[in-house]
Amino acid sequence: MKNKIIIIGKRGFLGSNLNSYLKKKFFILNLDYKIFIKKKLNFIKNFDYIINCTSNQAYIDSKYLKKNDFDLAIANKIESLNIKMIMLSSRKVYKPGANLKETSVLRPKSNYSKNKLITEKTLLKILNEKILILRIGNVVGLNKKKYNKLHKIFTDIFYENVKKGLIFDNKNSYKDFLSINIFCEIVEKLIISNAYGIYNVSLGKKIFLRKIISWLNYHNKKDVRIVDLGKNYQHDNFTLNNDKLMNIINVKNTIQDLKKYCIKLSKELFKND
């Protein structure tokens, strides 16, 4: 029998891609956050999973307030039901570093990452084994939404700068990246495996920014200027250890696959140039 899943916030980058991918495997219902909150429990109890892909600007920018926490409101609503929730968290809850495990030092700096950590801890208490928390690295893909973006993904920032003829010198900075198609496959397999708890979702490899930018810029026919940010450049190097994740699911997830995906994405980004 197919899992029945409610996706809240399908208009964003992650939500829209999860919707397109998961509807091929499961029964998917898309709901706006406000509509979901108004739904009666007799309706919601017929579903197996809730995936929240939406947030709000106050939660991102300001110090934590319960009224701004959509994940908390959803968790409180389904607490009495036999439904699992998937929370999309962030690698930014960690202190920067390499090979970060789920048990590594947590040291969020921004209001957003501090709020995510507060939400994580609260949802674990409310839902226990009914919560699956994904600490996500940088996901690359085509962000088709052109307006009202709460978050700019790495691809957005790259494309905005390169359209101005600029690429910044990232020196030896590195991060951990994941293509949106692999992200969606990981979520699918975590659902099938009935997983719960906290998982790093990442490639698990060091990707130098200059390298991934060269892949994304592969089909750009226009000249670009390399800009040195000098003392203003901030290093925030990280890689996530995904051993816990890969011990329960089997997903082909390699640097070569990421490279191929980025070059394919480059063709889409520059197809009208």
DSSP state, residue 48: S
CATH of the domain at 47: 3.40.50.720
Query: Strand runs (DSSP E) across the chain, as ranges?
Result: 4-8, 27-31, 49-52, 84-90, 97-100, 131-136, 138-140, 166-168, 174-175, 177-179, 197-201, 207-208, 225-227, 238-240
Q: Which amino acid is at 227?
A: V
User: Using CA atoms, how far apart are residues 209 and 85, in angstroms rounded to an integer?
Assistant: 33
CA distance 249 to 238: 23
Model pLDDT, residue 236? 84
What are the distances in angstroms from CA 254 to CA 49, 203, 262?
Answer: 29, 7, 12
CA distance 196 to 201: 13
Cα 14 to Cα 155: distance, rounded to the nearest angstrom: 13
Q: What is the pLDDT of residue 122?
A: 98
Task: Report the predicted TM-score, pTM, of the whole model to 2 decimal places.
Answer: 0.94
- Evaluate if residue 146 carries a pLDDT over 80: no
Decide if 153 contacts 183 (C-beta within 8 A).
no
234-245 per-position pLDDT tens digit: 678 999 999 999
What's the domain count of the chain? 1
Three-state DSSP at 92 gives: helix
6-24 residue pLDDT tens: 999 988 899 999 999 999 9
Full residue range of the structural domain in which residue 226 is found: 4-269
The fraction of the chain above a pLDDT of 70, given in percent, is 96
**pLDDT at 48 exceeding the cut of 60:** yes
Residue 83 has pLDDT above 70, yes or no: yes
Average pLDDT, the chain: 93
- Kindly report the length of the chain: 273
